[in-house]
Structure 1
Amino acid sequence: MRNAGWLIALLLLGAPAQAEDAPKVAVFDFELLDTSLQGEIEGARADEQARLMRSGDQLRKGLAASGKYQVLDIAPINSAAHAKNLQACGGCDVQLAQQLGADIAITGQVQKVSNLILNMNVYLRNTRTGHLVTAMSADFRGNTDDSWARAVNFLLRNRLLAPDYGRPQPQ
């Protein structure tokens, strides 16, 4: 009975049940594709670089908290990932994720058309086959911390963690 009390307490606190058979995922830091005139003239902005890091962290935390995924630490391969364009490297994201023992490689990209028009894309690839499992996208308005965080939350809630969507199983 005493153990049952601890179990109920954990459930009430919202601790996710981490299934050992949950897919192991390597969630890479987001990348920026800046096609805006401002980006062409001014180059990379520190606030946007910080938002990219926070977006990846937010995605990792949300997936881990759900208990539907085992989120792996990307620190051992993070510098190698930052040295490449993960969206155009011909599968290097899969190769890096394989080094961690991941079942799924998750990459993200934010395309900035202007300070008003942005798009966030998330891609999941099976590390055994290299094939794209699913892709998802969210358009958002305003280049602010809040708008970026809302876009990540939307993709988590309505795509990655939604029933019957975004929980790809390795083949």
Structure 2
Amino acid sequence: MPHDVGRPRSVQPVRENGADMNVTRLFQITKPVRSILCAVVCAILSHFPAEATQRVAVFAFEIQHGDLVQGAPDHRTAEEKRLIMISERLREHLAASGLSMVDIGPVAEKAAATNLRSCSACADGWAQELGADYAITGVVNKVSELILSMNVRVHDAATATPLTSAAVDFRGNTDESWRRAIDYLYKNLLWPRLEKLKK
């Protein structure tokens, strides 16, 4: 006898030993359990705060001149501008690497009137007052118009402990040579050493 295909029949779901009902009951039971587990996990994670961004106070670079040769041109005005430029450039490099820059404005006048080369503890104390983790100072040593060097020191602001430093020699007393020197010093020397401190 041929099958009747003209009218579709309703198909009842097949139940085997009440399996679908058991699944429903299981879901109803496990739902509050999942809520409790989520609450417990959240409570545990709340005790592990996210790693705080390290705060850095970068003080303005200083310059130390060698014996001036009689008759040599005086480039102090240009050099003062370059000191500002490399200080800002170092801050930009550090910020781009994920560190938080502390505004040294409140102590900038005192810092400018102090020889930080011989009073690194002064910078450390001011950095701590500003809420920084690290105090960074720098100096350019000018031997002549051709021979110069750049030095950066990093201290723990809370303990005044020297943490690391970096130095580079460079040639030429120009904007470009100073810029290249601070970029090289940061990328190849200072930042790799700072990364080690974070580990």
State the match for 1:52 in structure 2: 83
* Kept after mapping to 2: 8 A contact 1:36/1:112: no
AA partner of residue 166 (structure 1)? L
Q: Which of 81, 88, 98 does residue 128 from structure 2 map onto? A: 98
Amino acid at match of 1:35: G
Q: Which of these residues, 189, 194, 198, is aligned with residue 159 of structure 1?
A: 189
Shift of 1:43: 6.5
Other structure's SS at 1:84 match: coil
Identity of aligned residues (%): 44
Q: Which residue of 2 aligns with 1:5?
A: none
CA RMSD of aligned residues (A): 2.2
Distance in 2 of aligned mates of 1:75 and 1:39: 37
Q: Distance in 1 between matches of 2:52 and 2:175?
A: 34
TM-score, structure 2 as length reference? 0.69
What's the offset of the Cα at 1:41? 7.4
1:24 to 51, 55, 59: 55
Query: Which one of 92, 100, 115 corresponds to residue 145 of structure 2?
Result: 115
Taking a change above 3 Å as real, the CA distance of residues 81 and 140 of structure 1, as seen in their structure-2 partners, is: same
- Count of aligned pairs: 149
CA contact (8 A) 2:165 2:190 kept: no
Separation (CA, whole Å) in 2 of partners of 1:142 and 1:78: 29
In structure 2, the residue matched to 1:145 is: 175
Q: Give the 3 Å change call, closer, same or farther, for CA 74–39 of structure 1 in structure 2.
A: farther
More moved, 23-32 vs 85-94 = 85-94
Per-residue CA shift, 1:27-67, capped at 9, x if unaligned? 00100011132499776710000000111000001110111
Describe the SS at the equivalent of 1:161: helix
User: In the aligned structure 2, how far is the partner of 1:40 from the partner of 1:90?
Assistant: 34
Unaligned runs of 5+ in 2: 1-49
Q: Which residue of 2 aligns with 1:132?
A: 162
- Residue 45 of structure 2 corresponds to which residue in structure 1? none
**8 Å Cα contact 2:60-2:83 kept in structure 1:** yes
C-alpha distance in 2, partners of 1:28/1:148? 17
The CA deviation at 1:119 is 0.3
**SS where residue 152 of structure 2 aligns?**
strand
Q: Per-residue displacement from partner, 1:110-130 (whole Å, max 9, x unpaired)?
A: 000000000000000001111
Q: Which has the higher contact order (CA 8 A, sep 6+)?
A: 1
Distance 1:134 1:74 in 2: 21
Residue 65 (structure 1) aligned to one of 79, 96, 116: 96
Give the SS at the match of 2:194. coil
Question: CA 1:90/1:166 → structure 2, altered by over 3 Å: closer, same or farther?
Answer: closer
User: Amino acid of the residue matched to residue 163 of structure 2?
Assistant: V
Q: For 2:167 and 2:159, how far apart are their aligned partners in 1?
A: 23
Q: TM-score, normalised by structure 1?
A: 0.80
Unaligned runs of at least 5 residues, structure 1: 1-18
Query: Which protein has the larger Cα radius of gyration, Structure 1 or Structure 2?
Result: 2
